[in-house]
Amino acid sequence: MSDSPDLNYLKYFYYVAKLGGFTKAAVFLNVQQPVVSRAVKLLEQSLGCHLLERQKKRVILTHQGNKVFDQCETIFSSVEKIPDILQNFDKNESYIFSFVSSDSLSYGILEKVILLLKKDYPNIIFQHQSGSIVGFIDQILNGQVEMGFFFNIPKLPNGLVKTKITPVDFHYVIKKSVSKNKDIQNSFIATISTSHESADDLPLFKKYKSQHKEAKVSIISNSSVTRKAMILNGMGVTILPQFMIENDLSKSYLEILGSPEKLTLYVVERQLSYRTSLKTKLISLVKEIV
């Protein structure tokens, strides 16, 4: 007699006894009924005893069958709880969830997202950093950071993938009170690009320059929050996402120059990482609020 009965055979026996029949167990386990019958027969042979009395419309556990069923109940009732445990893991556990983003999302977006997430995941400690994706690639790749949200994505190394979330309108903006000043119109405040050697090669600047022939890059900053502050101080023109400037436009602090540019927001993750309910909710909220 084997010291360790086959776990699959035990599973088939357990559900036959629990559900009260071979056919019901087969339907539940999504297998053919003869497979269940054979598994239970092989289990009985390996244990050297009968576990079930096979009646016409039901099964009855033998004394030995009751003993085996009690042990199976301990094993498989715990197994059945695993999906619920995992489903509620994020909501019940306390741990640090780290993610990163373009700094533009730090302004008026992520505080709303985290506020909503905290209602469903009150025990999670959300850790957020902002900046250029280039500075975070290694951290995402090695698991220090779970995911990142960015507009401009360079070529990613093996192991990382990007997924489109939503297109976002970006506008060239200037302080309204100085919007007719040619010197300020021609002073472009650009963002840093890792894929272009000079500021003059930046695609968004080149598009602006096509309409303002005398425009020059006067300041470069990788912080959209800083660039917005400069614009509000009348220091030039820059390009910012719609969600960052809606309030300023409604109060007539800023004015839009020209047509909007549509940039895609991406989420960057490890290729083989698993999207938990928390990750899925985070992505959904970012898409909804942006």
**Residue 85: pLDDT band with limits 50, 70, 90:** low
Q: How far is CA 117 from CA 120, 125, 138, 278, 284, in A?
A: 5, 11, 26, 8, 11
Better pLDDT: 274 or 245: 245
Q: What is the mean pLDDT of residues 258-264?
A: 94
Q: What is the mean pLDDT of residues 2-25?
A: 89
pLDDT at position 138 is 94
The residue extents of the domains of the chain are 7-85, 92-161+266-289, 167-263
Q: What is the mean pLDDT of residues 11-19?
A: 93
* pLDDT tens sequence across 220-237: 998 899 999 999 999 999
Domains 7-85 and 167-263 are alike in CATH topology: no
Residue 84 above 90 pLDDT? no
Residue 87 above 80 pLDDT? no
Paired strand residues for 129: 100
* pLDDT tens sequence across 127-165: 999 988 988 999 999 999 999 999 989 899 999 999 999
CATH number for region 7-85: 1.10.10.10
Q: What is the mean pLDDT of residues 245-269?
A: 95
DSSP codes, 193-250? -SS-SSGGG-HHHHHHHHHSTT-EEEEE-S-HHHHHHHHHTT--BEEEEHHHHHHHHH
Measured CA to CA, the distance from residue 207 to residue 262 in angstroms comes to 13
Residue type present at position 239: I
Helix, coil or strand: residue 81: helix
Q: What is the mean pLDDT of residues 193-219?
A: 83
Measured CA to CA, the distance from residue 239 to residue 166 in angstroms comes to 18
Enter the pTM of the model: 0.69
pLDDT at position 1 is 43
CATH number for region 167-263: 3.40.190.10
pLDDT at position 36 is 94
* pLDDT tens sequence across 190-203: 987 655 567 777 88
Q: What is the mean pLDDT of residues 39-47?
A: 93
Helix, coil or strand: residue 276: coil
Does domain 92-161+266-289 fall under CATH 3.40.190.10? My reply is yes
